[in-house]
Amino acid sequence: MGDVVVVSRAPRCKEIGVVSGEGGGAESAMAEAKKRAAEKGATHAVFEKPELDIDDGVTTVVDATLFDCPPPGSEFPPVGYP
């Protein structure tokens, strides 16, 4: 599991899913989502704007779209990429 790079828009890589993170504030929610992204094998993630949970009005929730990008210097698209 490596570090997930947070980017502002979708990279030209394979999208591999979406995760959510929850916490007592935006920073902790993003940290939780980043941890989940790494567990799913993402190399990059685009985060949505953090929002308060509508059920409790206290917990911050954030979603992130995950991407698997080849290492720098690799041929793109990689073999098997659609």
Report how far residue 61's alpha carbon sits from residue 25's, in angstroms, rounded to the nearest whole number: 8
Written as six digits, the tokens of 78 are 């990689």
| Tens digit of each residue's pLDDT, the chain (82 residues) | 568 999 999 998 899 999 999 999 999 999 999 999 999 999 999 999 999 988 888 899 999 999 999 877 766 665 665 5
pLDDT recorded at residue 1: 53
pLDDT recorded at residue 23: 94
Report how far residue 2's alpha carbon sits from residue 45's, in angstroms, rounded to the nearest whole number: 13
Distance separating the N- and C-terminal Cα atoms of the chain? 25
Per DSSP, the three-state class of 66 is strand
pTM: 0.81
pLDDT recorded at residue 49: 95
pLDDT recorded at residue 27: 94
For domain 14-68, give its CATH number from 3.30.1660, 3.40.50, 1.10.3470, 3.30.420.
Answer: 3.30.1660
Domain positions in the chain are 14-68
**Closest Cα partner for 45 from 65, 28, 31, 71?**
65
